[in-house]
Every structure is written in structure tokens, then in C-alpha cells.
Structure 1
Amino acid sequence: MRRQKKQLELGTRIEFWARSIDEKADEFPFRILDQGKQVLWAVKRFSEFPEFYSYHHREACEVELEWNEGVTDFTWAYAYNPRSVSKTGITVLEFGEHLVERTGPEIDAWCASDPQRPRLHFSPVKHWMNDPNGLCKIGDVWHLFYQFHPAGTDWGPMHWGHATSRNLCEWLHMPVFLHPEQNLARLGATGGAFSGSAFRGRDGKVKFYYTERLPAYDLFAGYREIQKIAEPGRDLIEPERITTVLEVRPEGVEHDFRDPKVWWDGAARAYRMILGASIDGDPAVLLYGSGDGLEWQYLGPLYRAPARFRAEGARAVECPDFFRLEDKWVLVMGFVGHIEPTTGRHNLLYALIGEFAGDRFVPDAPELQLLDFGTDYYAMQSFEAEGRQIAFAWLFNWEYRKPEGSAYSGEMSLPRVLSLNEDKSKICMLPAIEVDERYVAIPVAPDRSGDYALPSAPIEIRLSGPLQGSKLVATEGGELAFEVSVAGDILSIRLAQDDGSIRYVAELGGGKDLRLFHDRGIVEIFADGGAVCGTRRGYANIEPDRLEISSSASAQVFEKLAK
């Protein structure tokens, strides 16, 4: 047994997920003892399945932690004091030969020591992350929640991870906020606390509407999804109350019924909510209404995709977003399972711009706008704060996976600010000003085309002027890292992992500006004032050392370093 003394404050909580890795292990492989060796708290026996455990310390004193790492796998563990966690974040615990503790800057330093972890983009300390959830700003603190699996680096029973920031770029890691309502690993099932969004009521209080997928034994059919409200306690550490508000699906809607977005409709003087689903097999967005935010009535489809999407493999809409932008309404959707036949791309995100009145959404044009021509910008969620519509998305593509041995999987995009172009026919996305305020741009190349050495750091490339015929080629040890080109008014990107079977392209037209961020395998492109965006995530040659620029436009290359 390993033993280590630790001073605990009154109210300290230790939370962890653990499983047994030895069926013949002795009893009590984990104990917390007081100074007189009396047991304060103990686990008699861990099961073969990862389970959540929580200890609440009731008196300020020194304790002795006792554990056996040879028979127990502690997949994710941390400590915190509810009175100070909003300022300090959690203390990550590792129960190995010794107890290792990391808080705040120590966590950041540990993450930065990973040579494959991007520096500008948010990622979890450990394990699996996907969709951004519950985005909001309360006071001067930004809150990012996200889909999280605390027991491994692959997708599994869903929880909500949580991080906070004061500048949208530096993040404090917080306690897990939402848990599945049952231990799904023990049930041999998947599901849990799926995606949702924040809603600030007229009383000023923030609530989180989200989907719970009940224990599921088939990933593609037959599962049940219900809608809940989580009402947070102090500092949004944990919910004080969780209420189920919608269980019954409309006729024609099968298992996909999820990802609520809620708002107050001033004209109707009532609450409105959308959900992603399908109607008789067609991907669709459902509209609901409520007088109190608790009892919901189905008002009909807000949008139903053309039949071609079902023919091209789309199963349902997920992660829909619906919001007012300037004097228009915008609907954003992902189509599960869809493959674009002309390019082979999947995981694409689409949008419509139009008018919303009388519970009807009328697009200005029927054509869907492709929000990002890469396939690694997905499950985007936006929220309004300080007069800006700010968005994050999950940077991932099921086509490619992180190399084995990584401590985590999944990153978030840079924060983006949404706007409309001059004639209000397109949504534009550009990095939030906080990105430039936090990461200073240090020139590493003169204002011209050429072949340049690159630093071992994130870079930004800016082109200004005619882009036709431009080509950017980054290599690592002579091998391709990424190539971006403009030919025949088509903007394209290619990574080292691409075999040509999928084409990542967009019509650029007469765009005369381009910004490209590269951050250890992540490429985010913003062209034509953000009207054309493209995001890719690669895992080969992620530290390019040479860059060749060929362009008639003015070209600048910057190293991006934290201030």
C-alpha cells in the first residue's frame, strides 16, 4: 500500500473515477485516515467497471491517504474546495508510486510538456472530449462546458466537463459538472449527459437545458433521449436540481431527439426551444413552445431537410443552433451520417439565413451555406455576450484518430465571432479579438513570397491582395505538413494524411484576404473577411520547420506567443 499525508481544508472534496484491475485484490484498496489512524472514509472494493466516488472532508486537519495503484486504475481524480475553486480551479491527483498534485500553472505546464498538444486551442487535461456545451458569460467569467468521458481517451458514457476563463484563451479546469443518471459502464451501455446549452431567464438566473440519452445498447437505433434542465449552484460547480422536462417524441420522430437550444420569444411572450431530430427519416429541426420553461408543447418542424440529404446518408440533425444575428435569424445544423457526394466530405456544418415570425422560419434563399469547408469544425455552439455572437466548435473527424499513447483526445476551435457580410447573404466568422490580445504576433518572415524557416511554435500567415494562384506549402523534414492553394477561384487544403479520396475545397471568388493559423496539426483558415472558413486537424508532421509562399498578394508570417 502507498501512503501519503495531506493537509485538507474544511469542505475539501476529493472526486475520482476508478476501477479494479485485480479481481483478487484485498479489501479496502483506498482509505482516508485521520491522525489517529481511524478510518474517515474508505472503498471496500472497486468493481471491474469505472465508477465515480466523492469524499467530502468535514474538518480542517491532516489526513493520510492510502491506496494500492497495483490493483486499482484511478482514471481521473482531483480535489477542490468549493469556496475557492472558482479562483484556483481543481487540483489534479495522480495515485501512482507517489501522490502527484497539480494546480493551475502546474497543470498548464504539464499540458505544455506534451509535444503533440496544441498551444492556442483548449483541450482537456486527460481523456476524451467532444461537443462544446453550455457556453455563457457570467460576470467577467467565461464558462465552457463540454462532452467528457473521464474513464478513457475514447468516446464513452457522457459527462459535462467544465472550464472557466477571463479572456477566452487561458482556462482553469473545474470539477465535472454533469454525470449520467446511471452507471452506464456497469450496465454495459452507452449514453449519459449529452449536449445542451445555457439559457438566462428573465430573472437573470442561468439554467442548462440538455439531453440525457438513457442506457443504450445500439449506437444507431432504438435508444431513448429525453430533455432535462440543470439548475446550477454557487459558482456553477454542480447542479442544485435536475428536472426532466420533455420525454415524449412527436409522431414520425424516432430515436434522435436531442441538443436543445432555448430562448425567450418576445413576440409570443413565451419560451421557445429547438431540437435536432428526423421526421420520417428526413433530418429536421423541431420547434417547441412553453409558458414556463418546464412544460413544452410541440409546435411543428422549424426546418426539414430536402430528400437528397437522406439519400446521401444523413440520419438526423444534431447540435442545431438558432439565434438572431443583426436583423436576421440564423439556423446552424450538422447532419449525422451525411457524405457529400461530389467531394466525399462528411462532418460538415450548414447554415441558413432568414426571417422568423409567428413560429415560422423562412430562409432568404433555399441553398444551405457551408460554414466550414474542412471537416474538423463540428457541433458548433454560439452564444451572445457583450453584443457579440461567439462560437466554439469541436475539432475532430471520425475519419482520423489521435496516435496511441496520448493522454487526451479532442480540442476546441479558436473562439470565433459571427457576423453577416455586406448584403447579408453569408455568415462570416473571424477569430475573437481576444486571440490577438492574448497571443502576440512576432514577425518571422519579410513581407514577400519565399522559403522560410519556421519556429517551433504556433504561426499565423496573412495574405493581403489578389489570392488567385497563391500557394502555401509547409513541410517538416521535407515531408508535407499542409498545403493551401487558390486556383480557378477554388480554395483548397491538403494535409499529410490525405490520400486524395476526399477533396477539401471552397469557392473563394474575388476574396483578397486570408488568415491561416497553424497550431501543432490544427489549421484554421479565414478568407474573404471570414465568409470562407476551413478547419483541418492532422496528426502527422505537426511541427513544420519550413514554409514556402508563392503569391502575388502581400504575405506576412508571425509566431504566436502568449504575452
Structure 2
Amino acid sequence: MVCGIAKQLTTGAFMAWQTWGELSPGATIELWARASRPVSTAVFVIRAGEQRVFEIGSPPPYFEHSRFTNLWEQPLTVHLDPEQLEVSLAYHWHPESLPTQGIRLLPATGDSPEARPELHFSPPRQWMNDPNGLHYQDGHYHLFYQFHPNSSEWGPMHWGHAVSRDLFNWVHYPVFLHPEKNLLPLGATGGAFSGSACTGHDGRLRFYYTERLPAYDLHKDYREVQKRVIPAADGITPDAITTVISERPDGVDCDFRDPKVWYDDASEQYLMILGAALHGDPAVLLYTSRDGEHWHYRGPLYVAPPQFKDQGARCIECPDLLPLNGRWVLYMGFVGHQDPETGRHNLMYYQVGQFDPDQGFLPEGPLREVDFGTDFYAMQSFLADDRRLAIAWLFNWAFQKPPGSDYCGEMSLPRQLSLNAEKRLCMHPILSGLISRSLPLVAVSPVRFRPGDNPCLLTMQAADGDIRHFRIAGVDARQREWSVTLDDGLLRMVLPEDRGDIDYVHPLPRFSDLSLLYDRGIIELFVNGGSVCGTRRSYQLTELSSLTIDTTHAPEALSISAETLTCPQPGQ
């Protein structure tokens, strides 16, 4: 395997070059690189002694992916000219050590100095958005995700891949999917957009995803097709990729994406739902198939009320339809939508009802918000040992990460989904396996804790349902703060970044309990048994000097406790 910090060679024509060490037999190296300036000679070389066995010569001025596997019976040395070649991402891996060690980034400079959240998944480097292809197989959780290897900003989409046994310790795997063609020389966007995993009636895993063909406008005049992927036996690379839906139904414009697919045992067929807009109204479309390859359009499963289009929603993205407690839950993101009362945008909504492939979706009850904080998008669910779990992307474009970061994007904590007696979607964070330690009180009026650098969990439990007022504040050493308040039936979240033009608020006429998890700028809030959730991401306040709870209620009316949470080491 390639190892060691880059160092200069000292002889021959390689005086200004660097070496990345040795590539052992069977190991693979991958990199995305471009010329720093016009060059007509080799700028990246892999050698067996003095013999060149692989090189990148005359690289283009745009990033291009290269991959080499050492099929020799001896280690090979890896060299590059850092003055001539710009590398956005490079890593190496060996199939034998990949399940435990994952990929190894190059150069071996370690993590960036910025403090990443400890409990929340983030990419090794560069940009990440929607979770994709979530599934649980042979005791391992698989997380695929939208990934741009060339920048910490959004760009041509790939699928990253990570694997975990406990949902907290993740091993980074090689990039799984690439755009159909390199979009950069075309000056285009697109690539391997979001999709899902499906285990068929034959027990074989396959993936379905949207390919956005080369596009030159982010909002119009692009084409999206649906593809099926059969993974190779090792699960590291695709074995076969087939376009299964290439034409849009009548009334559907360019937005036609994010397939969620599952096999329905009752009707013995595959079902697919897609996000789209039908005659301009955000919609979810239903397809069926007997073999998972030949699909038939059955019509719209859901069409949004007219106000969504009027309030800017272009289409529905990332829909999901899942059975819970004897009902079905349809949830979806409304991209472009802005709530006129609060200014919040791109909210996810859900609706509970009945579903039959022939009868469609029959709603029971109103459309409700999935998460009122809005930094919670593209949620995707999956089954793991009869538990319905879900993960979402913690970003919503309202606030950008400061420039210069090595990465951008985190995932939510995994949440277990259920329906309560009122048929409300409830989400509970998966915390089992984490190491918890109680935080002592440092003051009692108001209640105050000092969490330090560790993630922390605040828990509040009401003795009765008459709690009307409290204020939770997290403060850093520079006296910047975020807050969560309940005031006369309104639950509100405020960050230092907020300018007052967006109100992150939710009606809460009755309060019973609260769990608040804080992890280096991420706040995940679960209220009333998880039936009300709010998620925010702050890039300004990432460390806590104190956590304060101020309330006018007597101590016996509201029990309050806090604890730190740390992630156990693998195998611990």
C-alpha cells in the first residue's frame, strides 16, 4: 500500500518531484488531477525499479480520474511533480485491509485542523450531499452519498461509500459511481444523482439512481434518466449499469429523479417512486416492474396542493414511501419552496395514509413538516433487523460553510422511525453503543452545565403538561450563542448566523419531553416523543463553554439532566 508522508527525491530528473511511497501488490491507487499549467511531459509516474509501468502525461486543464492496480509481484513506487500537477483527491486501498482500514488519503497529511463533528458522518474530503443506497447487509450498514471529489463545493456528482458496524465508526470505501462521462471538459453539470438500494425477490442487491445527462442550466433544459446498478461481488465497484427508464411521462418536464425502489411481496413486483413536477405541480410518480428492469408508469401517486407551486416549489425531490405501524408514510422534499409565514425554505413534509399499488396512496390526515429546523433534507429510510431507520443531509443552502475547508457536508444521526397514537411521525436518535457520562451541575438558577469539547445530550422531562416557558442557550468563549425557546406555545431555534429574515419556529401547545443533542455546531432537537424535530447547523459556534436552561417553573415541575457522549473505538 502507498504509505508515508510525501518526501523529495534527490537524484536524477526527479529533483523537484515527490514520492508517495510504495504501492504493494494487489493495491489500487485512484486520483483526480489536472495540470497546474500547460505541460507536455509526464507528471505522475509509477515505477518498478527504473521501469515506468504507469504514467499521467500531458494532463488536461480540468480534473480527470485515473486508477491503477498493482498486478506486479513486487511493490511499486509512486512519484509526482507537485508543481505541474494539481490533485483534488487521491487515495489508495487494498482489498484485504479495506473492510477494517478503508481507503488511505494521499498525501498522508492527516485530517484538516478544523473540528469535525464527532458523532455525525462526514466525507473524507470535498463535497457531500444526499444519502443514497442505504442498506443493512451481513451485519454492516452501508451508506452511499452524493459526492464531488474535485471541490468542497457542489459539482458533477459521484457516489461516495462508507461502511459501519455500529452507525458511528465508519470506514471510507472507494468512490462507487462516476458520471457517465467527464462533464468538466464539456463545461456541464450533472452526473450520478440520488437513488436507493433494493434487495430483489432473488435476494440480490441492486441500486437505482438518476443520471443527469450533461446539463448547462441548473434549473431547466436538462435530461434525467433512471439507471439500475448490479454491484460486483465485492460490493466495491459496479458490475453492470443499465438505463431502465429513459423517457418522461406526458406533463413531466426536466425534473424527474431520485428513485426509491423496493420489492413488494404481496403483489410480487418491484415498485418505484420518483420525484417530479406534473404540469408544473410538485408530484410523486409511481412505476411498477415484474423484473426490476422493464418499468411501467402507473400514474401520479401524489400531487401537491397548488400553494406549493405558488410559493416557489419546482418539484419534489427524494420521496420515500414506507410502512409503519399499520399505515404508510409518504415523505418528500419540496425544492425551491419557501414558507411565506416564516421564510423557511426547502422543507420536507410527510403524510400518513393507506397504500395499494393498484389503488395508489390514500391520505389520512394533514400534510406535516418532517423537521422544522430545515437543515435536514433528502432523508432516506431503510430496514435493519426490523427497525425502520433513516439518515438525512444536514444542509439547506441558507448558510454556506466558510471557504477554505477541506470538506463540506454532514449526515444526521441515524433515527428510528415510528408512528404514535395520533398518527404522527416520530423520530428517535440512535444512541445505543455510545459512551455516556453525566455532567455535573455548575449552577442551579438558572441550571448550567459545562460540556467542554465533547458532544452532549440534554434531557428535559415535564411532570405534567403545563410547561409554558423555558430557554436553552449554548454559549462559546466569545459569548456567541444559539438558543431553543418555548414561549406561549411556540418552539423556536436561533443561531448566531440568523439575520431575522427566517423564523425557525413550530407550534407546540403541549410540552412533555425534550432531547437535545449538540455536536460541534450541529443541534438535533427531539420533542414530545420525537413527534416534533428541529435540526440546525451552525458554522460560527462549534464549541460550548456553557449550556444554560432558564425557566420560571419550579424544579419539581421539570427534571433536567445532561451527559457527554463519546464514540467507542472500533471493537470496543
Distance 1:3 1:345, change over 3 A: closer
Instruction: Note the C-alpha offset of 1:5.
Output: 7.1
Q: Does 1:333 align with 2:338?
A: no
Q: Check if 1:451 corresponds to 2:448.
A: yes
Structure 1 CA distance for aligned equivalents of residues 385 and 123 of structure 2: 27
Residue 51 of structure 1 aligns with which residue? 64
Match of 1:66 among 70, 76, 79: 79
Q: Deviations over 1:271-319 (max 9, x none)?
A: 1110000000000000011111111111000000010100000000000
Partner in structure 1 of residue 476 of structure 2: 476
Q: 1:447, CA displacement in angstroms?
A: 9.8
Matched residue type, 2:93: Y
The answer to whether the Cα contact below 8 Å between 1:121 and 1:412 also exists between their aligned partners in 2 is yes
Q: Provide the residue aligned with 2:351 in structure 1.
A: 352
| CA apart distance, 1:444 | 3.5
Residues 1:116 and 2:112 aligned together:
no
1:524 aligned residue: 524
What residue number does 1:105 align with? none
Instruction: State how far apart, in whole Å, the 2-side matches of 1:500 and 1:522 are.
Output: 20
Corresponding position of 1:442: 438
Determine the structure 2 residue equivalent to 1:427. Answer: 425
Deviations, residues 63-113 of structure 1 (Å, cap 9, x unaligned): 22221111111111111122432232111111xxxxx27xxxxxxxx44x6
Structure 2 CA distance, aligned partners of 1:45 and 1:261?
A: 42
C-alpha offsets along residues 209-229 of structure 1, whole Å, 9 cap, x if unaligned? 000000000000000000001
Return the alpha-carbon distance in structure 1 between the equivalents of residues 473 and 18 of structure 2: 54
> In the alignment, is residue 260 of structure 1 matched against residue 259 of structure 2?
yes
Q: Deviations over 1:378-429 (max 9, x none)?
A: 0000011111110000001211111111100000000000000123x20000
Match of 2:88 in 1: 75
Q: What TM-score comes out, normalization by structure 1 length? A: 0.94
How is 1:120-199 mapped onto 2 (pairs within 5 angstroms)? 120-199=119-198
Query: Which one is further off, 135-144 or 262-271?
Result: 262-271
Letter in 2 for 1:450: V
Over 3 Å counting, the alpha-carbon distance change for 1:259 and 1:40 in structure 2 is same
Indicate conservation of the 8 Å contact 1:447/1:556, yes or no: no
The answer to whether the 8 A contact 1:373-1:535 is kept is: yes
Q: Which runs of 4+ in 1 moved over 4 A?
A: 446-449
Partner amino acid, structure 1, of 2:313? A
Gaps of 5+ in 2: 1-15
CA distance in 1, matches of 2:285, 2:268: 19
Residue of structure 2 equivalent to 1:12: 27
Partners of 1:537 and 1:210 in 2: how far apart?
28
Aligned to 1:29: 43
The correspondence of residues 334-413 of structure 1 with structure 2, limited to 5 A, is 334-357=333-356, 358-365=358-365, 367-413=366-412
Question: How far is 1:3 from its partner?
Answer: 4.2
Give the stretch that moved more between structures: 9-18 or 281-290. 9-18
Q: Does residue 209 in structure 1 map to residue 224 in structure 2?
A: no
Equivalent in the alignment of 2:515 = 515
Q: Which residue of 2 aligns with 1:324?
A: 323
Shift of 1:10: 2.7
Alignment of 1:452-467 (within 5 A): 452-465=449-462, 467=467
State the alpha-carbon separation in 2 of the partners of residues 217 and 446 from structure 1. 57
C-alpha distance in structure 2 between counterparts of 1:76 and 1:327, whole Å: 46
Q: d(CA) in 1 for partners of 2:83 and 2:22? A: 25
TM-score by length of 2: 0.92
User: Which residue of 2 is the match for residue 506 of structure 1?
Assistant: 506
Alpha-carbon contact 2:19-2:80 (below 8 Å) kept: no
Q: 1:359 to 1:88 in 2, by over 3 A?
A: farther
- Distance (whole Å) between structure 2 residues aligned to residue 288 and residue 221 of structure 1: 24
Shift of 1:446: 7.0
Q: Is the 8 A contact 1:86 1:235 kept in 2?
A: no
**Contact kept in structure 2, 1:133 and 1:381, CA below 8 Å:** yes
Contact residue 442 and residue 449 of structure 2 kept, 8 A: no
Identify the range of structure 1 (220-229 vs 398-407) with the bigger mean alpha-carbon deviation.
398-407
Are the counterparts in 1 of residues 459 and 514 from structure 2 also a CA contact under 8 Å?
A: yes
Q: Which runs of 5+ in 1 are unaligned?
A: 95-99, 102-109
Taking only the aligned residue pairs, the percentage that are identical comes to: 45
The size of the alignment, in residue pairs, is 543
Change in CA separation of 1:3 and 1:503 when aligned onto 2, cut-off 3 Å: closer
